[in-house]
Amino acid sequence: MRVLLSILGIALALYIGVLGLLWLLQAKLVYFPEQPGRTLEATPADIGLPYEEVWLTHDSGDRVHGWFVDAGSPATLLYLHGNAGNISHRLDLLRLFYEMGISVMIIDYRGYGRSDGAPSELNTYHDALLGWHYLVNERDRDPQQLVIFGRSLGGAVAAWLAEQVTPGALVLESTFASIPDMARVHYPWVPAALSRIRYDTLSRIDSIDCPILIMHSREDRDIPFSQAEQLLAAAGDNATPVEVQGGHNTTHIESGPGYTAALREFFSKAAITGVY
């Protein structure tokens, strides 16, 4: 019995130790700016798109880097990417939106790409808000023609932003209900209450006052389809569901023309003009 109790004591101590490390290092499990790398591999010019480099400065002095691709349309999209890579890894999406007649502002969160600082939940929120203010105040874009588009972790950031401002529309693609929910999916042996990083999309989605498009694939192995179902149930009649195809990072490719067709239909219903 003593031996068994000793073994159980050691196992418990190891378990608590692992939980302590996860508490301290959980940001390393959420943010991956180094994958596939912080260096910008290309620019929109490399795929034939006109663009302007943009630097946005916080009161702290931290600078956020981004690109603005002007399609000459009143429809403008603020794109908030996922937790890995940087803006140069989203060029195919910039081209897709540009070919639909939509101007795009894309930013790297602090700690990503050429942006200063380090990522955190609060920093990603404030980086997105800075991008919004740039479009409205510096670019004189009509908020009712502004679409906030968030993908994966960017969807949680987009939902927060849409709760602070009133955009013309919100698109959430491959987005989770919350980080604790995702912890239950990928680390069921870890108490979800240990999560200091929340990104609680589910708790705020019903207070967002604009049309919402929720896109997700049943083939997504990173963020299960059930996460989208939770968001849809909370959003109610304010949300439009679209089931896309492909893996977590490839829905815009594997869904083919159906992907852009779904966006066009949603933008039309949301009265976002200039899209073709």
Q: pLDDT band at residue 29, thresholds of 50, 70 and 90?
A: confident
| One domain, residues 94 and 13 | no
Is residue 56 in some structural domain?
yes
Assess whether pLDDT exceeds 70 at residue 174: yes
Q: Which domain holds residue 83?
A: 41-269
Is residue 275 in some structural domain?
no
Is residue 225 in some structural domain?
yes
What distance in Å separates the CA atoms of residue 210 and residue 206, rounded to the nearest whole number? 10
| One domain, residues 184 and 109 | yes
Assess whether pLDDT exceeds 60 at residue 190: yes
| One domain, residues 139 and 100 | yes
| One domain, residues 54 and 148 | yes
| One domain, residues 3 and 112 | no
What distance in Å separates the CA atoms of residue 27 and residue 120, rounded to the nearest whole number? 7
| One domain, residues 192 and 112 | yes
DSSP 220: -
Is residue 251 in some structural domain?
yes
Segment 196-217 shows an average pLDDT of 97
| One domain, residues 16 and 50 | no
User: How confident is the model over 41-86, as pLDDT tens digits?
Assistant: 999 999 999 999 999 999 999 999 999 999 999 999 999 999 999 9
Segment 20-48 shows an average pLDDT of 87
Is residue 22 in some structural domain?
yes
Is residue 36 in some structural domain?
no
| One domain, residues 154 and 58 | yes
Is residue 276 in some structural domain?
no
Cα 138 to its chain centre, rounded Å, is 23
| One domain, residues 157 and 228 | yes
| One domain, residues 18 and 155 | no
Is residue 230 in some structural domain?
yes
Name the residues annotated as catalytic: 152, 220, 248
Q: How many domains does the chain have?
A: 2
| One domain, residues 19 and 56 | no
| One domain, residues 137 and 22 | no
Segment 148-171 shows an average pLDDT of 98
CATH number at residue 54: 3.40.50.1820
